[in-house]
């Protein structure tokens, strides 16, 4: 078992009316495990991972640095729906291996590469190193808001599982649909080895980690489309 605490994550409670809020203001369908809230220009305010609580309530795991702008963004809309976005006593953990044992009284959110995010109030055993977590994120394309990107346009991130192109309108949807169907984003986040990046661009790479299998150092970098 390889597990690490995601100390930069904050777990928020959304509801009642979680499905209505996510349907109106998030990039993905209310039942999707991953999505994002955007501004009117299609730029990411907060990416989230979601666990349903039933009865139209949900848990959203977001980066702590994105919480203030997310709360400010939704503050004008939530009262109209009778919904609230509040803190919780839950922490977030990342299980890197599919066969990790179950955790009682916890919520599990599927992640790329067979990993899963666990939301629980318990303190779990932590035995995965930061390097192992970064390497998993790089190999399975899991960029981190505030580390690998800031407020870029959502389509620049290349995370197709965070966006639904068949759901109804949401804030930022018009620009996202226009770029998706009629053009392409000006840049795109990619994973590259440092040997495949010009030396002048190495300073722009993030989450740099040595891959012991290939012997190459990998990282995220934005490249022009």
In this prediction, residue 15 has a pLDDT band, given cuts at 50, 70 and 90, of very high
Share of the chain above pLDDT 70, in %: 100
Per-residue confidence (pLDDT) for residue 193, from 0 to 100: 98
Instruction: Pick the closest to residue 6 from 102, 136, 163 (CA basis).
Output: 136
Q: Which pLDDT belongs to residue 69? A: 95
Residue 134 CB: number of other CB atoms within 10 A? 21
Give all strands of the β-sheet with 187-193 in edge-to-edge order. 187-193, 217-224, 206-210
Residue 7's Cβ-count burial label (10 Å; 0-12, 13-18, 19+) is exposed
pLDDT averaged over every residue in the chain: 93
Helix, strand, coil content of the chain in percent (nearest 5): 25, 35, 40
Residues of the chain with CATH 3.30.1360.120: 3-182
pLDDT at 55 over 90: no
CATH 3.30.1360.120 fits domain 3-182: yes
Q: Count CB atoms within 10 A of the CB of residue 125.
A: 8
């Amino acid at each position: 078992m390889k597990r690490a605490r995601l100390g930069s994550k904050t777990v928020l409670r959304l509801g009642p009316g979680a499905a209505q809020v996510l349907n109106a203001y998030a990039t993905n369908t209310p039942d999707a495990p991953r999505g994002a809230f955007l501004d009117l220009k299609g730029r990411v305010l907060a990416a989230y991972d979601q666990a349903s609580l039933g009865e139209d309530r949900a848990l959203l795991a977001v980066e702590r640095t994105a919480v203030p702008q997310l709360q400010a963004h939704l503050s004008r809309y939530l009262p109209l729906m009778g919904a609230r976005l509040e803190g919780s006593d839950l922490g977030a953990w990342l299980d890197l291996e599919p066969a990790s044992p179950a955790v009682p009284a916890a919520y599990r959110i599927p992640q790329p590469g067979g990993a899963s995010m666990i939301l629980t109030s318990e303190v779990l055993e932590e035995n995965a190193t930061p390097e192992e977590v970064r390497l998993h994120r790089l190999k399975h394309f899991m960029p981190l808001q505030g580390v690998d990107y800031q407020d870029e346009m959502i389509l620049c991130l290349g995370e197709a599982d965070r966006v639904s192109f068949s759901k109804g309108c949401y804030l930022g949807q018009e620009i996202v649909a226009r770029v998706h169907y009629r053009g392409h984003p000006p840049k795109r986040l990619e994973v590259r080895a440092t040997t495949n990046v010009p030396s002048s661009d190495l300073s722009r790479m993030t989450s740099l980690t040595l891959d012991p299998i290939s012997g190459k150092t990998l990282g995220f970098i934005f490249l022009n489309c």
